[in-house]
Structure 1
């Protein structure tokens, strides 16, 4: 097993976040998702060997390796956002080109929804996206354009391309003046957390004490904070741990600074998390409601993926990052302070979000 041991620079904790509350997410997306062809809740799998390793009572993995016919959770946000875009345009509106930038799964999800709803898609991909991931997007009927540069650069190019009158940008990151569609994407992710609540109850398990979330621009983590910190949420609030690659820990850097900052990204097998700037929409929610954040190495993520595969869960580097982050936070001779900050004791229930299957991630291309 390869485990990242957090340093002061790669670890952040603020236990007071559990006291923060915000407005709940809209709940209309859940019924919409249930109406889509092929919808069913993804598995929540209990893995006792991980509970023993992490020194907790129970560990569950939310397995997003098959979501609405795609190998990652991204279809939840993309489908709801595209549905809302088309509803806003009204019946009888001419077809629209849906434009996005991606490291893999988000672009494929937008392309799939464009095809499902009779629209067109144009997807911009940055350097480092594996040819198999590009081919999967092309197979959905999208036009794919390569961008020389980082994910952030691809987002800038996509935003310019969406200025055309017959185009709409469907991006999960946000900035000043571009908030509505990212907000719909985050609302779509709420279905995942509603499923977790129902599945834990059906298994006779308590609400989680710790939920571990992989972070790129922070939209999924925003959905997690919104769900678990909302006014009227059932039960005590769990600790929420964000996990990022060391090569692109923009949320961790922002938390340390106390303001939203950009970082220069490097190369990482967790390519879907290789994002240099937190979403402007997500940042205030993450700043207020995240208990902790940790940055991990590619080796730690790869080791976690092997562990999950051995336990029957298909997970790519981005999905397996949550196990690597939990290992970094909860194990080792120096883990006592981190466990205290997360309020994780030997009877705790932990939920790890495995956001993609191994097939989604050829040689590291994944989830943004």
Structure 2
């Protein structure tokens, strides 16, 4: 079933109930959590319960996993970079990830062996900063390429970790190709959070790294005796984060998997278009990929996590930028009794979608497709804070209202 209203497009799907991605289950990701727990400053990020907003939007519960509190990164990406880079180093040093933690890499003997290694990546900001931060912590070097139009604030944040970082004249996907080429030609280590043919191992480690976020959220819900989510909204760029969380929950809940909705910017909706085409193969989207959701401005799906999104998601939604602005505002200006969540342009689109389909009768058909009602308990992952502070302030202070009559 396909629907389109005011630029919001949705297509439903029937998820599988077998062949779960075992590399994302609890047992396979134990080493991830062990490694993360050894990082200085590690603690689970907050799960914010927004009771007043839930009542306002006509649902039972709203949970928001606030990744602006992840280390000092203001985003979740360090979960993937730290684990993948540790796995790379373990392979280089001939040790098992089960035997190593970040204290091991800080020994003088090990630091001397890895000091000349250079990690290369492409990013809109958050992943590149995570790679630069991790490299700096390890005593290694990093080179980061950013797509055209990237925020100078995000560039400066990467540079602050001693990285050789620059903004290119390419879109995100071509910046990835540039980073891959430069790493290959210069004997560097390419650490990218998307998989493609011939390059899957490191992206899979990054994806495994992201499961810590899902593990924490599930544990927090159970520890607080909150109702298990009936719905999970996951935003997607290449789909690595969405695939990680969906893969983890699919393994955990199997046939009782919460209804999972994948949400993207309409200017870079490669997952939506892949689902819409319904051939099972990923579809690439070209062009400038112009959207304020910079972290989601990716036109080519991760070939591994696409299969998870294809097989286990219940719906896919393509959204104009006004949808994420709605979510940013809702979280930045909470109702009395609710906690404020600082959620950036790439973190709030799911909340924005729920808000809009709950407020506007014109979106009732999409709401029905997603099976949102008064019994729904909805989990969101706010994957970044105000990583571009100037644009964040502009967005949360917008006063325009959606007018379906125009």
TM-score (norm 2): 0.83
| Distance of 1:317 and 1:149 partners within structure 2 | 21
Q: Which residue of 2 aligns with 1:22?
A: 20
Change (3 A) 1:331 1:242: farther
| Distance of 1:20 and 1:273 partners within structure 2 | 29
Change (3 A) 1:333 1:21: farther
Q: Which residue of 1 aligns with 2:88?
A: 85
- Per the TM alignment, residue 23 of structure 1 is displaced from its structure 2 partner at its CA by 3.0
CA RMSD of the aligned region, Å?
2.1
Question: Is the partner of 2:40 in helix, strand or coil?
Answer: coil
Counterpart pick for 1:186 among 190, 207, 220 = 207
- Per the TM alignment, residue 6 of structure 1 is displaced from its structure 2 partner at its CA by 3.9
Q: Name whichever of 49-58 and 245-254 sits farther off.
A: 49-58
Q: Which residue of 1 aligns with 2:240?
A: 219
Mapping for residues 85-124 of structure 1, pairs under 5 Å: 85-90=88-93, 92-93=113-114, 95-124=116-145
Write out the 4+ residue segments of structure 1 that deviate beyond 2 Å after TM superposition: 4-9, 18-21, 91-95, 232-235, 325-345, 359-364
Q: Which residue of 2 aligns with 1:45?
A: 48
| Distance of 1:236 and 1:330 partners within structure 2 | 25
Q: What is the aligned residue count?
A: 359
For structure 2, the residue ranges without an aligned partner over 5 or more in a row are 94-109, 335-339, 393-406
Question: Is the partner of 1:242 in helix, strand or coil?
Answer: strand
For structure 1, the residue ranges without an aligned partner over 5 or more in a row are none
- Per the TM alignment, residue 320 of structure 1 is displaced from its structure 2 partner at its CA by 1.0
- Per the TM alignment, residue 335 of structure 1 is displaced from its structure 2 partner at its CA by 4.8
| Distance of 2:268 and 2:243 partners within structure 1 | 18
- Per the TM alignment, residue 9 of structure 1 is displaced from its structure 2 partner at its CA by 7.4
TM-score (norm 1): 0.92
Q: Determine if the alignment matches structure 1 residue 255 to structure 2 residue 275.
A: yes
| Distance of 2:255 and 2:47 partners within structure 1 | 20
Q: Which residue of 2 aligns with 1:332?
A: 360
Q: Determine if the alignment matches structure 1 residue 130 to structure 2 residue 133.
A: no
Q: Which residue of 1 aligns with 2:160?
A: 139
| Distance of 1:219 and 1:343 partners within structure 2 | 25
Larger Rg: 2
Q: Which residue of 2 aligns with 1:358?
A: 386
Change (3 A) 1:93 1:74: closer
Change (3 A) 1:172 1:137: same
- Per the TM alignment, residue 233 of structure 1 is displaced from its structure 2 partner at its CA by 3.4
Q: Name whichever of 355-364 and 331-340 sits farther off.
A: 331-340
